[in-house]
Chains A and B, each alone.
Chain A
Amino acid sequence: MTKFFIILSILFLIIFTTITKNSTKRLEDRIFLTKEDINVLKEKFELVLLDYNFLTTPKKLLEYQSKYFEKDLISIDINKIKKITKRNNELIITKFNKINNE
C-alpha cells in the first residue's frame, strides 16, 4: 500500500512538473512576443513623436498661424492670469502672480 502511494505521488509529481514546465514555456514565449511587440510599437511611437515634434515646432505653428488665422498672437499679461482652486465643491479664483507690481 505504501509502495503504491509512493509510486502514485512520484507519477503525480512528474506529470505536475511537465504541465508546469509546458505552461511556463508558453508563458515565456508570450512574454518574448509581447516584448518584441512593445519594441516595434516603441519604434513606431518614437517615429510618430518625431513627426509630431517636427509638425509642432514653434516655427511651424507660427507658419500655420499666419496662414490660417488673421489675428496676431499676443503675449499674455501675467497679471491677467488667475488661479482656480476647488475647495468644498466651490471654485475659488485668486490672483496667480503674487509679485508686487509697485
Chain B
Amino acid sequence: MNSKNKVERLVLENYENEFFYEKNKSNLNITFNRIAFIFFVFLIICIIYSFKVFYLGSLNSKIKIKIPLPIKANYRADIVDANGNFVVKTINTIDILIDPNLVIDKKRLLLNLKLIYPNKDFSKIKKEIYGDKTFYFKKKISEEKYQKIRLLGDKSIIPEEKLSRIYPQENLFSHIIGQIDDDNNGISGIEKFFDYELKTRKEPLKLTVDTDIQFLIREELLKFQDIFKSEGSAAILMNVNNGDVISMVSLPDFNLNKREEIKDVKFINRATKGVYELGSVFKTFTFAAGINEKEIQPDTLFEDLPKNITCAGRSIREYDNEIPSDLTAEEILIRSGNIGSVRIAQKIGIEKFKSFLEKIGVLNKIEFDIEEVGKPISFKWGKCKLATSSFGHGITTTPLQLAKGYSIITNGGYDIKPTLIKKNNPQKIIKNKILNDGVSDTINPILRKVVSTKEGTAGFANIKGYEVGGKTGTAQKTIVGGYSKKKVNTFAAIFPTSKPKYVLIVLLDEPKLNKEYIYHYKDGSGWKYKGTAYNTAGWTSVEVAGKIIEKIGPILATKYIKVN
C-alpha cells in the first residue's frame, strides 16, 4: 500500500453535541414559580395586615382593661377635704408587748419602765409581768418613747408595728368617713365603699366636703338639738349644679379616734340611711310635675276646695283651716294646701306623677359614695296613694334624695348625681336635661315667696342678702298600723333663688316645743316672739336653716364664688 494512499484523512467537523443548555421547562421549575407567586401573595397580605395592625394599634381603645393594682399590706391612702386638709391620715405606730418569760430581772424592768412612763398605773402591769402570757404594755407610743424603750435592750420587749388612722376632726366627719377594723378593712362609710381604692391608690382621696362649713352646720345642729330636745337631726348642703356635697351632718355622731363599735340605732346616718315620710316638702314635686307635664300653670285656679276629703275611709284634712277655698296652683304651694295638692296630682295622673318622681330620683334607692344608703319603701300605686303622695304622706325617701330632687327642679332640670368625691375634670361632665324648659324658672320664684311672704310658712329663713327659697314639711312619724304623735320636721332650702347654687336640707327627728327660745322675725319688723308656738317645720327646722345660712353664707359667697 502506497503511503500516500495511506494518508489518513482527518476530517474536522463540527461536533454537534446532543446536549445543549436551555431553560428547563420541567414540572419542577413550574412548581418553583408557583411557590414564589404564593409567597408573593402571602407577603402582600402580610404587609396589608401589618399596616392594618399598626393602624388599629394607633387607635385609642374604647374598652379600657383595668389591670388590678396590687394591694399593699399595711397601707391605706389618706383622705383630704375640698381644701386639701387632712380628714384622715395614716401613720405607722408602734405597740409595745412584753413577754414575761423572757424577762431576766423583772424588778429592774419595772423600774426602768416607770422612769419612762412616770404617770402610768403600774399595778396591772406588775400583775401581768409576773404571769406567763405576753401582754400589751402600751399601744401607739411616740417615736421618742420607743427610742427610750429600745435603749433598755431588754429581750422581753417586743415592738409591733401597726397602721393607725388618725382623724384630726374627731366627730366631724364620722358618718361620712366610717370606720376600719383591725385588719385594715373598711367596715362603714367611705372607708368601706372605697376600700380597694384606698389600699391601692398613691394620692390621697379628695372629698367635696368643706371642714369649716361642716363644723358650722354641726355646731348649729348641736345647739338646736339641745333647744328642741330632738332625738336626732341631719343637714345636707349640696351644690345644685354638680351634686357636690359640701356638708353632710347627722346627729348623734361618734369620735372616730375612739374606734368604738357602734350598734345603737340612734347613731344611724339620718342624712342617707334614714327613710322618712317627709310631708309637705313633697308638694314642690307635685307642683313641678304639674308644670313639667303642662297640666297646670302657676295661675291655674282650683275652685271650691273642701277642707276635708275622704279616701278609702281615711280622712285627708287641711292643716290650716283658715286656708281659702279658691286657690291658684302657686297659692297652693305657698300656703301648703293639702287638698289643693291632691287636686294637682289628680290632674297629672298616676303614671305621669310616678314617672316624674322616678325621674328626679326620690322613689328608688340612690347610688351614693357610702354604703349606708336607705331604700324608700315600695308601695302599690292607687287613687288614694296618689292623693296622699301629693302632700308627702304614705311615700318615703331619704333626705339625700330630697336634696337631689330639689336640685334637679331648681337647676334648670338637669340630672345630677350627689357625690362626696371631688372630680378631676368637672368641666368634662355632660349635663343631661331631664325636665322641660321653664320648670325651674316657674318654681324658683314661688319657693322664694314661701320664705319671703306672710302667707308662706318659712319666714324665719328669710336671711337678707341670700334670696332664700324653700318648702317646709311637717310629718308624723309612722308606727306599726298608723302614725304616732312624734314628728319629723324638714325644711328644704335653695339659695339664691334668682340663680340657685345650693340646696340645704335640715331635718329634725322628734323635736319638742321650747317655751324659752326667742324668735326674731325676719320681715324687717324687728319683732320678737318667745317660745315655740307650734311643733311644725316652720317653727323648728326653718329657724335652724336660717341660722345655718346666716353663718355659712359669707363663706360660701366669698370662697366658692369667683370674684371677677
Contacts and interface: CB of A to CB of B under 8 A. Distances in A.
Contacts of A53: 85-86, 168
A81 B556 CA distance: 13
Nearest to B78: A46
B466 interface: yes
B550 A57 contact: no
B140 to A, nearest CB: 14
B246 to A, nearest CB: 15
Given A50-B168, A57-B211, A81 B557 contact: yes
A97 to B, nearest CB: 5
Interface in A30-68: 46-47, 49-50, 53-54, 57-59
Contacts of B557: 78, 81, 96-97
Given A75-B551, A99-B466, A81 B168 contact: no
Nearest to A101: B464
Contacts of B330: none
Contact of B554 (A76, A99, A101): A76
Contacts of A78: 464-466, 553-554, 557
A101 B465 contact: yes
A28 B78 CA distance: 31
A102 to B, nearest CB: 7
B91 interface: yes
B467 interface: yes
Contacts, number: 63
Interface residues of A, number: 22
A2 interface: no
A4 to B, nearest CB: 47
A77 B85 contact: no
**Interface range, B side:** 20 to 34
Contacts of B11: none
B563 interface: yes
B212 A50 contact: no
Interface string B542-556: 000000001101100
Interface in B529-564: 550-551, 553-554, 557-558, 563
A83 interface: yes
A66 to B, nearest CB: 13
Given A47-B91, A100-B467, A81 B554 contact: yes
A57 B169 contact: yes
B451 to A, nearest CB: 11
A58 B467 CA distance: 27
A79 interface: yes
A53 B170 CA distance: 12
B436 interface: no
Return the 9 tightest CB-CB contacts between A and B, nearest first: A58-B215, A78-B465, A54-B168, A76-B554, A53-B86, A53-B168, A75-B551, A53-B85, A50-B89
22 contacts: A46-B89, A47-B91, A49-B85, A50-B86, A50-B89, A50-B91, A53-B168, A57-B169, A58-B215, A58-B216, A59-B215, A75-B550, A75-B554, A76-B554, A77-B554, A78-B557, A79-B465, A96-B557, A96-B563, A97-B557, A99-B465, A101-B464
